[in-house]
Amino acid sequence: MAQMTAEVSKLLEQSLSLSVEEQEALADSLISSLGDKVDEGVQAAWEAEVAKRLAELDSGRAKTTSWDEVRQRNLAKLPGGRRSDLTRKLPRSNPDRPRTPALGPRFVEYT
């Protein structure tokens, strides 16, 4: 990974003063601008991880949990007043960007 120059550090400092929505839009734009500039080592590592996880699912070694159970467990960890924050729908920063397809109503828990 490249080192941050003084100019990039200054841009980062300025971006941290933006609202969360502005930061999200900026991050989305920066990531989208990378296009096909993917580190081959990172890509290979992700492909290996995906293959490993699929094999664990196929073999039955991975424990799946329903979304309702995962959500309830995580909501229980939050202070009571914050729970309603998680139930509202958040706008997508880039509605034209395709959504990642869901793997179904169950989630794999890794420990």
Residue 51 included in any domain: yes
DSSP 1-52: -PPPPHHHHHHHHHHTTS-HHHHHHHHHHHHHHTTT---HHHHHHHHHHHHH
Residue 74 included in any domain: yes
Residue 66 included in any domain: yes
- Contacts for 107 with CB less than 8 Å, ≥ 6 apart: 64, 65, 66, 67, 70
Residue 29 included in any domain: no
Q: What is the number of structural domains in the chain?
A: 1
Range of the domain at 70: 40-78+106-111
Residue 13 included in any domain: no
Residue 89 included in any domain: no
Nearest to 108, CA basis, from 56, 73, 51: 56
Candidate ranges 31-35, 68-72, 103-107; pick with highest mean pLDDT = 68-72
> pTM for the whole thing?
0.39
Minimum mean pLDDT among 4-8, 14-18, 34-38, 42-46: which range? 34-38
Q: Is the pLDDT of residue 77 over 70?
A: yes
Query: How many other CB atoms sit within 10 Å of the CB of residue 70?
Result: 14
Residue 65 included in any domain: yes
